Structure 1
């Protein structure tokens, strides 16, 4: 074997706290595969499909909040990692991608499984390293070890994200029997500082804070811990500051949280948007799902917009960003919540502003609780009943397209404790929703429930093509036999090509897939069966389950339009 020094790579990863490795089978990557599988400190899993493998790795890293190693062979295998790498980049999830490659002299020479792999992921990784082919010299070995330590440090620095290391290998790739060479290992450990505002900086912010009469907090995608929720509760209750967030912001346990902005901001109520314009906008977290919230804040801009995060470069989502405050969310919320509540004429204006948001939120919740669809059986009520039936301590995964939108319209009650919501809203694609949920199920002991449409489900069916059991995974498939969202978007829904070229009708059902992989399968196409099937679906009996709901796309659209009409008449 030409590369005994590669055994130092897993040693570095282990010493820096990495425990999980996803391996895609291949020959050129044999030195990496052998090095990691022979190291005692790793949980190595083999996933044949590279696209699924990368999303599974991302799901594991998302749950464990630590980097996962991802290994593949040379050629197009590396290209199949890209959708998940882009998603991890925008969701700020740490991945360490190790791709095997052919030596430089064989690139573009029509040799098998040989493409241009150096920096193949472009701007969707935080850094990319091309490790030298020849490692005879001690300095070259020192260099590869240094690059490995540096890659892990970059991946875990804020904002976290994927880092790529490309390893060109020459043959022979496989060791002789029992060949294993001990190699001295150099590890570089990064000590990360804790970011806090000093008193002078904070006092300056508070002076500005107190000058604004209408303050608004918007939470982007993220997992909020219990302590942060308590600080948000204090800010909402004591200072009457509206706290707004989609279902993916995970603030649903906040009793007075504004969790349905996409419903009431999409109404036809005259003057509503203008009345909700803030003077000061405070944001944290990643993407926001609500299109109507983004439209409102872009049109009715705040005087100042502060974004709270631990690194310097922030997205200007609402075109009004004035301050990036580099501090932890928890520290910022804690210090603001500890301020004295002094009653003045301006605080009355803040309270009036708060009540406008609360009135619209309460109205939405009333309509949702009393909404009775037509006689037609549809997806809206299915998602509503499944969300209501979720047990505590559940990971809820929402596939893109209509699944995440239904859930966002409906929401999760504040009485539901420890429901953590995940969705691939970095790039918002349908191409890894199953696999991400599988990765989460493989790395957590709680129940994982995936709500997905038929297109996303069948597109990612290789998520289950491996030898690992996921008994804590339950999948709700909303099968209306096509991409229904295009019927609801202005533009495609007005084109004669709609049905064939946008909706893309498909005739599959999930039953055969369930049989192939040994999953329990439930099928429902009638309202009369629904409650019983949801009860069976939610039973905690250590079996992977698929509940497939078959409905009519046109009837689903009519039900959603009926809901919007009922809301606008309130």
Structure 2
């Protein structure tokens, strides 16, 4: 026989031995035994954040930097529902979160008991695996089932493709009684996985098609920095038949890389569209931002499309997938480099001729435009400190940033798993706590206000810097065609607000500085990047009408 709470006592050590060294806890009563158990573990880092939605995004940011699973603990009821947006984001980014929710025993579900909802399979559409654990572990079979399920969950979280898992733990009263001592012989089940390598025969078959293609395009989607992939792509960029397209979120950079496909594929003539069409398209990583690139390749489909990923899937973004290749992209691309035949091709030079013209035209336009979101981004991107972790909010920040070339000394991130505006502060906050580097978030005003509870966090440090581009609402809807300005529905898209960002910053104990003009910008950025003992927020105010005019003129003039 075991103690009814022996499983709860052993839970932290099982998690720790699987590499989960940090847990983010939100307060509650039903989860009291879990709080006692984790805070009593000598080596587990326990962080307290009250708002569950913010806590979950914060955990996601921690996991991004540490590359380790991060735990979440909350009470029963709607607290668990508030985790959902970040869990969905983690699922589509392959981020390992271990979600531990306290629950009422099953006999009390739908019985008008307080703080009780149906929590079984709560996240079923965006979770790797879910487990409902036994109420107590007094019997040997229940204890075995409890520990086996926790081991299975932890292995699932980190096994490729990694992602969130859910442990739902019903807890009966009393909740505040002392826990038994952890077992002296914690049972740990380890998964051993062998890297998937393509056979020589498979590589040779791919090589035949590679060498027969004179126009090859490699598109790198959003992903963490991967040195093996970067080295292989750097070597491939010397091949005259290879064009590399890599937005900043891919964390791939280089002189020969097309880092702004949205600009490159705008306003192509039919002759240019035909000339740039690849014979072979290879994609790696996750999603891309550029809508114009997606549209171009869906209309001008290559003869073949290979998607390389570490686990089986059929990601067919461009509607032309012919090969789904389960392999390390770095290793496979390196194999192609080492065995490729030298072929004559004009493809890379043709593309780079256009790209170099666009880069020069871009510099000329940005220098000549009036103070606006576009020119502000130009100043910011040039002044970001070396070795910075840059987080970009969705909507306009990620799009403006991609008009400027990727920097080798900056790590880029944006929550493009689901591409929502929620959670940008909280995610960047988590990343800043896990790192000693400067962590910079660039956000619009709506995204900032939406996730301002991300600043309700006692763990934040002076390395966390935020730039809020305040253009008075959701400016993205003026940059895309949403109809006439006088449309009565416009306020439901742009959501103008009267929130005073300075007062909001002060309420959370953050430094605040206000910038209204290009003349003030240099001093404002100096202030922001100076050493500080708490988070600093630079609010840059721009005019939405000027922003709209400049943005549209940019795309009208860039190809002249």
Name the TM-score, length of structure 2 as normaliser: 0.96
For 2:136, the equivalent position in structure 1 comes to 134
Q: CA separation in 2, counterparts of 1:183 and 1:3?
A: 15
2:373 matched to 1:382?
no
For 1:408, the equivalent position in structure 2 comes to 402
- Cα distance, 1:565 vs structure 2: 1.8
For 1:500, the equivalent position in structure 2 comes to 491
- Cα distance, 1:373 vs structure 2: 6.3
Contact in 1 for aligned 2:228/2:331 (Cα 8 Å): no
Structure 2: stretches of 5+ with no match in the other structure: none
Q: 2:55 aligns with which of 31, 34, 53?
A: 53
> Equivalent residues in 2 for 1:433-448 (5 A)?
433-448=424-439
Contact in 1 for aligned 2:284/2:308 (Cα 8 Å): yes
Contact in 2 for aligned 1:373/1:559 (Cα 8 Å): no
Q: CA separation in 2, counterparts of 1:98 and 1:393?
A: 34
In structure 2, relative to structure 1, the CA distance for the partners of 1:526 and 1:512 (3 Å cut) is same
Contact in 2 for aligned 1:259/1:361 (Cα 8 Å): no
Q: 1:431 aligns with which of 422, 430, 442?
A: 422
In structure 2, relative to structure 1, the CA distance for the partners of 1:495 and 1:331 (3 Å cut) is farther
Name the TM-score, length of structure 1 as normaliser: 0.95
Contact in 2 for aligned 1:23/1:44 (Cα 8 Å): yes
For 2:86, the equivalent position in structure 1 comes to 84
For 2:111, the equivalent position in structure 1 comes to 109
Range that drifts further, 454-463 or 514-523: 514-523
Q: CA separation in 1, counterparts of 2:85 and 2:140?
A: 37
Q: 2:448 aligns with which of 454, 457, 470?
A: 457
- Paired positions, count: 558
> Equivalent residues in 2 for 1:29-178 (5 A)?
29-176=31-178
Q: 2:540 aligns with which of 549, 559, 564?
A: 549
For 2:365, the equivalent position in structure 1 comes to 371
| Cα-to-partner distance string for 1:202-223 (whole Å, 9 max, x where unaligned) | 1111112122221110000012
Contact in 2 for aligned 1:371/1:563 (Cα 8 Å): yes
For 2:264, the equivalent position in structure 1 comes to 264
Q: CA separation in 1, counterparts of 2:170 and 2:477?
A: 44
- Cα distance, 1:54 vs structure 2: 0.2
For 1:190, the equivalent position in structure 2 comes to 191
Q: CA separation in 2, counterparts of 1:226 and 1:312?
A: 23
Q: CA separation in 2, counterparts of 1:251 and 1:399?
A: 19
Contact in 2 for aligned 1:480/1:550 (Cα 8 Å): yes
- Cα distance, 1:309 vs structure 2: 1.2
Q: How big is the alpha-carbon RMSD for the aligned residues of Structure 1 and Structure 2?
A: 1.7
Range that drifts further, 459-468 or 398-407: 459-468
Q: CA separation in 2, counterparts of 1:183 and 1:73?
A: 28
Contact in 2 for aligned 1:75/1:113 (Cα 8 Å): yes
- Cα distance, 1:517 vs structure 2: 2.7
| Cα-to-partner distance string for 1:390-416 (whole Å, 9 max, x where unaligned) | 12211000000001000012233xxx4
Q: CA separation in 1, counterparts of 2:181 and 2:460?
A: 32
Q: CA separation in 2, counterparts of 1:493 and 1:102?
A: 52
In structure 2, relative to structure 1, the CA distance for the partners of 1:375 and 1:127 (3 Å cut) is closer
Structure 1: stretches of 5+ with no match in the other structure: none
In structure 2, relative to structure 1, the CA distance for the partners of 1:326 and 1:79 (3 Å cut) is same
For 2:218, the equivalent position in structure 1 comes to 217
SS at match of 1:305: strand
Q: CA separation in 1, counterparts of 2:485 and 2:367?
A: 25
Contact in 2 for aligned 1:224/1:251 (Cα 8 Å): yes
- Cα distance, 1:538 vs structure 2: 2.1
In structure 2, relative to structure 1, the CA distance for the partners of 1:9 and 1:424 (3 Å cut) is same
Contact in 1 for aligned 2:446/2:474 (Cα 8 Å): yes
Contact in 2 for aligned 1:125/1:163 (Cα 8 Å): yes
Q: CA separation in 2, counterparts of 1:493 and 1:553?
A: 15
Contact in 2 for aligned 1:239/1:341 (Cα 8 Å): no
Q: 1:560 aligns with which of 538, 543, 551?
A: 551
Contact in 2 for aligned 1:133/1:169 (Cα 8 Å): yes
In structure 2, relative to structure 1, the CA distance for the partners of 1:508 and 1:359 (3 Å cut) is same
